[in-house]
Amino acid sequence: MAKGKADLTIVSTPIDAETRAHDDHHLSLRLWLRLLTCTNKIESRIRQSLQSGFETTLPRFDLMAQLERAPGGLKMSELSQRMMVTGGNVTGITDGLEKEGLVVREVDSADRRVFRVRLTAEGKRQFRRMAAEHEQWIIDLFGSLGMKQKRQLTELLGELKAHVNHRHGG
């Protein structure tokens, strides 16, 4: 080392929701922040993969996933409810997908004032390709966990979900 130069080592700690937790915080708070951090990191990787692999966004993928589960199509209001976003957001996403020929809007036969949105044949093909890749990304992201751990985590999160739904009206 050169004379007079201090050896400065910079330790870089990733900044995420969990770094806010300290030992003096309740374990439930630390657990919540760990779940939030994992969710945010996984979602970020999925967003990046959708963008680089398919030049699309997670909201577009999510809308197409909802339509794939409803072959007869969905009303715009139903899409909004299922995706838990505003009608304006659904309209914007639908507009873009429609311009690309991936979805079509049709007048609802039961209520001529309402449009139903459904995937086109090309939309179905593209979604199936994306969904297959998406599934593999998820499998890879959870790859460090064994089957027993995945089952255990699924069961524990299921219990938490049931508790939250029961206690807090979800």
What is the mean pLDDT, run by run of 10 residues, along the chain of 170 residues?
A: 51 59 75 93 97 96 96 92 88 96 91 90 97 97 97 96 84
Domain segments of the chain: what residues?
26-142
Instruction: Output the pLDDT for position 57.
Output: 96
Q: Note the CATH architecture for domain 26-142.
A: Orthogonal Bundle (1.10)
Q: With 0-12 CB in 10 A as exposed, 13-18 as middle and 19+ as buried, what is 37?
A: middle
The span from the CA of 165 to the CA of 163, in Å, is 5
* Six token digits for residue 24: 């003096």
Instruction: Output the pLDDT for position 44.
Output: 97
Q: Is 56 within 8 Å of 50 (Cβ atoms)?
A: yes
Instruction: Output the pLDDT for position 52.
Output: 97
Within 8 A by CB and 6+ apart from 51, the residues are 57
Query: Measuring CA to CA, which residue among 42, 85, 39, 44 is closest to residue 62?
Result: 85
